[in-house]
Chains A and B, each alone.
Chain A
Amino acid sequence: LAKTTQPISMDSYEGQEVNITCSHNNIATNDYITWYQQFPSQGPRFIIQGYKTKVTNEVASLFIPADRKSSTLSLPRVSLSDTAVYYCLVGDATGGFKTIFGAGTRLFVKA
């Protein structure tokens, strides 16, 4: 399983765009990249998933360069309610996609 590295914490202000980058140098060919959000005392919530280039949904965008050794989660115009821990995970469905969580990034959104 590819190991992921993220910044431990980030601060932002309401209305700003936040970009959280995850490093996964040992990503394998079959691996997908998935991001989750977790609030205190709650289970993680799926945000977005991608394999290459760019993926966008109603809450975020995921940018993956050609070498796939990193990925960037982009949250447009964050609000106070986006304060949470964000986890980047890399896994392969053919291997059962055992999900191993890294330390995650604690995002603090200030007013």
Chain B
Amino acid sequence: GAVVSQHPSWVICKSGTSVKIECRSLDFQATTMFWYRQFPKQSLMLMATSNEGSKATYEQGVEKDKFLINHASLTLSTLTVTSAHPEDSSFYICSARSGLISYEQYFGPGTRLTVT
């Protein structure tokens, strides 16, 4: 099946710094990518939807200036957490969908972010 990778798998950063997380579709072209955040023992929360070449659509309550999403190519989307704070510590998961496979969505392995 289709493979989605994320890098890094985990990252620790100091409060106030910015962190970039990459999401790549390795063997298919992803017309749409999604970013989720998951706190311990909770479900995934959709943060934003990004389509290649256009601005991301953020869910209500998600600060677009804090969580910068770029979907510059059909195989790469990035999430930058700007001026990170301890409350941003979470598990960030991306997923990708190809227009050719309408309903299947492939998830990355996730990135554990810890802000100290």
Contacts and interface: CB of A to CB of B under 8 A. Distances in A.
Interface of A: 32, 34, 36, 41-46, 49, 87, 91, 93, 96-104
Given A34-B103, A42-B110, A99 B43 contact: no
Contacts of A41: 91, 110, 112
Contacts of A103: 43
24 contacts: A34-B104, A41-B110, A42-B109, A42-B110, A43-B93, A43-B95, A43-B107, A43-B108, A43-B110, A44-B107, A46-B1, A46-B104, A46-B105, A46-B107, A49-B104, A87-B43, A93-B102, A93-B103, A97-B97, A97-B102, A97-B105, A100-B46, A101-B46, A102-B43
A101 B45 CA distance: 7
Contacts of B34: 98-99
A34 B34 CA distance: 16
Interface in B72-116: 91, 93, 95, 97, 102-110, 112
Contacts of B12: none
Most A C-beta atoms less than 10 A away, residue of B36, B103, B105, B112 = B103
B32 A96 contact: yes
A98 B32 CA distance: 10
A45 B46 contact: no
A18 to B, nearest CB: 20
Given A41-B112, A45-B107, A103-B43, 14 more contacts: A34-B103, A42-B109, A42-B110, A43-B4, A44-B107, A46-B1, A46-B105, A87-B43, A87-B44, A96-B32, A99-B105, A101-B43, A101-B44, A102-B43
